[in-house]
Amino acid sequence: MTQHQHIECVEPTVQRHGHQLVVFQCAEVKRSARTVHQWAPLQSRLPEIPAGARAGRRLWDTASMPLVDPGPIIAQAHERGLAVIGANVSTIQMVRGVVRAAEDAQRPVLIQFNRSGLSLIGGVDVAAVVVKSVAEHSEAEIALHLDHADTLDELSAAINAGFGSVMIDGSTLSFDQHLTLAQSAKGLVTWSRLPLEAELGHVAGDEAGVTIGDASWTDPDEAARFVEATGVDWLAVAVGNTHGGPAVGGLQAERLRAIRDAVSIPLVLHGASGLTEDEIQAAVNLGVAKINVGTALHQAAASAMGEWLAGHPSDLRGALSLAEKRVNESVLALLNAPWAK
| Active site (catalytic) residues | 147
Residue whose C-alpha is closest to residue 162's, from 228, 82, 18, 66: 66
Give the Cα-Cα-Cα angle 307, 311, 317 (nearest 5 degrees): 75
Q: Give the whole-angstrom CA distance, residue 301 versus residue 86.
A: 17
Residue whose C-alpha is closest to residue 159's, from 290, 53, 292: 53
What does residue 7 show for φ and ψ, rounded to 5 degrees? -140, 160
Q: Give the whole-angstrom CA distance, residue 164 versus residue 158.
A: 9
The secondary element (H helix, E strand) that includes residue 37 is strand 34-41
H-helix segments, the chain: 51-54, 70-80, 92-105, 115-121, 124-135, 152-161, 175-190, 220-230, 253-262, 277-285, 295-311, 316-335
For residues 24 and 40, the answer to whether their CB atoms sit within 8 Å is: yes
Question: With the C-alpha atoms ordered 149, 155, 158, 162, is the resulting torsion angle positive or negative?
Answer: positive
